């Protein structure tokens, strides 16, 4: 069963609707004790990464999340929370991945935010099992996670390559919104729900 971290900075409705369409049971994580109720944890996120990190800290869930051994998925800003630092608000993140979250460079002739459908080039990883390579997913973001081959399991390009998905131990992150990415996105959520602890 999936637990959604409910810290006031996530697009809960779109995510719960996608889970319901896949008949995936879920509940809300509001306290540390709630983490024990679920086999898989999702950290959603929209908006400002620095503000989202502050909200997550206020819940007291940061250290309990970092200590988890069960599968954890960060979505969009939820993925950025897993990095070491974000330029958005010059904020320290959870530092589960030793990566930086950076602002796209307008000087490259690109529009910010990066919004819309984009192909991703993914590696052989259980999160993408059954998802064809170069499938399109839906993105809405102004900040990106720097590409690092150690943790990158999917890459997208928007003026430059960046990490569309990352993986380390039991922690996963996706910059795109699987809950808004149609069949492929819902398939990815189902794959996440099937990951072994």
pLDDT in tens, 116-175: 999 999 999 999 999 999 999 999 999 999 999 999 999 999 999 999 999 999 999 999
pLDDT at 178: 97
Q: What is the pTM of this model?
A: 0.96
Average pLDDT, the chain: 95
In this predicted structure, the answer to whether residue 10 has a pLDDT above a threshold of 80 is: no
Catalytic residue IDs: 76, 177, 179
The DSSP line for the chain is: -EEEE-SSSS-HHHHHHHHHHTT--EEEE-SGGGGGG-SEEEE---S-HHHHHHHHHHHT-HHHHHT--S-EEEETHHHHTTSSEETTTTEE---SS--EEEE--GGGS--SSEEEEEE-EE-S-GGGTTPPTT-EEEEEESEEEPP-TTTEEEEEESSSEEEEEEEETTEEEESS-GGGSHHHHHHHHHHHHT---
pLDDT at 84: 98
Domains of the chain: 2-193 (3.40.50.880)
């Amino acid at each position: 069963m999936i637990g959604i971290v409910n810290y006031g900075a996530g697009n809960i409705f779109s995510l719960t609707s996608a889970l319901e369409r896949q008949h995936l049971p879920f509940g809300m994580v509001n306290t540390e004790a709630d983490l024990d109720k679920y086999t898989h944890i999702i950290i959603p996120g929209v908006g400002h990464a620095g503000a989202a990190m502050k909200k997550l800290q206020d819940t007291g869930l940061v250290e309990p999340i970092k200590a988890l051994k069960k599968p954890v998925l960060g979505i969009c800003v939820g993925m950025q929370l897993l990095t070491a630092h974000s330029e958005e608000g010059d904020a320290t993140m959870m530092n589960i991945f030793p990566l930086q979250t950076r602002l796209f460079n307008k000087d490259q002739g690109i529009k910010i935010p990066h919004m819309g459908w984009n192909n991703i080039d993914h590696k052989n990883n259980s999160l993408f099992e059954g998802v064809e390579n170069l499938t399109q997913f839906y993105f809405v973001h102004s900040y990106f996670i720097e590409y690092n081959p150690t943790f990158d399991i999917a890459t997208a390009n928007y003026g430059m390559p960046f990490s569309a998905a990352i993986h380390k131990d039991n922690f996963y992150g996706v910059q795109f919104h699987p809950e808004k990415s149609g069949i492929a996105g819902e398939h990815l959520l189902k794959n996440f729900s099937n990951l072994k602890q």
